[in-house]
Chains A and B, each alone.
Chain A
């Protein structure tokens, strides 16, 4: 069965330091992968996605994620974080099944410290 694991529930990091938020999934079929960000008391915003093609995808605000099929991972990275990156980050997986349903991970709270 399809599942998504975000092992780190909270990640504190100092401003300008690098960060990696981990996401692993399990699926027996082709998948699409997504990272969403949720700022306090707001909805979810799409950060980046992997549908096909290049396994390295980037967002406009400096985040990147790499699809690793052999390790079934889609970790999110940023080389230098800002205070404004403080938010909750959700990894989601959608199987290529025609229903476009997502399975979400439980989320990782990124806390950027001054």
Chain B
């Protein structure tokens, strides 16, 4: 258990509405990541953060924004949700110096109607 929580765990929303997913860690790790998981695609990186207010895009960042105003929280926002953003979203953290390993949160299931 790497001390990662995600909220909400499940959400149903309508097309065009804004949605914010939260990832919270308790151990002050610098690197945090947001992925989406879709059948046939595995996990794909949306955005990542390497410190407070330091973020960068991943391979599927269109339609998503992120913010990190404090070390423990990394927020993923869908400004105007679309049905193509129906997915399972995972947050991950990289643990330790010289330790290249990511540990994952429990995931958020998002359904956009």
Contacts and interface: CB of A to CB of B under 8 A. Distances in A.
Interface of A: 6, 9, 32, 34, 36, 42-46, 49, 51, 90, 92, 94, 99-107
Contacts of A45: 104
Contact of B42 (A32, A99, A104): A104
A106 B40 contact: yes
B19 to A, nearest CB: 20
Contacts of A106: 40-42
A111 to B, nearest CB: 16
B43 A90 contact: yes
Contacts of A99: 48, 50, 56
Contacts of A102: 33, 43, 45, 102
15 contacts: A9-B40, A34-B101, A36-B104, A43-B90, A43-B107, A46-B101, A49-B100, A94-B100, A100-B94, A101-B33, A102-B33, A104-B35, A104-B43, A104-B44, A105-B42
Contacts of B16: none
A101 B100 contact: no
A49 B31 CA distance: 19
A107 B42 contact: yes
Contacts of B56: 99
A90 B101 CA distance: 14
Nearest to A100: B94
Nearest to A38: B37
Given A34-B101, A49-B100, 7 more contacts: A44-B104, A90-B42, A92-B43, A94-B100, A101-B58, A104-B43, A104-B44
Contacts of B102: 34, 100, 102
Contact of B90 (A34, A44, A100): A44
Query: Which one of A101, A103, A107 has the highest number of Cβ atoms from chain B below 10 Å of its Cβ?
Result: A101
B106 interface: yes
Contact of A100 (B31, B41, B58, B105): B31
Contacts of B48: 99, 101
Contacts of A92: 43
Nearest to B106: A43
